[in-house]
Amino acid sequence: MNTLCERALIVLIGGSAVFLPVEWINSGQPHLWVLLTYFLITFFCFGILFGNLNTLAISPLGHIAGVANSVISSVQTIGSALLGGVIGYLYNQSVTPLVLGFLFLGILSYIIIRNERLRKPNSQVS
């Protein structure tokens, strides 16, 4: 699952990095089909990430999985509301803040996952 999450983040980061210049060339207003293609790739990666990262977070807490899931979901909701609020506040009639948010938060997530994997190289969950 770690490898799957890392690869999904690499695709997410790569897709955002490729789409950002295209978006800038079009002054923040890309053609609809280009934007939908970017969203297709991005949301496909999110679909892979959400389930697998939740499973990785809960896996060491199997004996208290219900409580752990509640706490993890609460932290996710609060964190995503705060980060989404910041990205939404930066909205300027273009998709630039959204793409930059996906890019920078994807990079941050990749760094965190990579450091955790390097910290525990012999993890049972892979």
What pTM, to 2 d.p., does this model score? Answer: 0.86
| pLDDT tens, position by position, 15-66 | 999 999 999 999 889 999 999 999 999 999 999 999 899 888 888 888 898 8
Is the pLDDT confidence value at 9 over 90? yes
Give pLDDT, residue 126: 46
* Whether the Cβ atoms of residue 6 and residue 112 lie closer than 8 Å to each other: no
Count of helix runs (H) and strand runs (E) in the chain:
4, 0
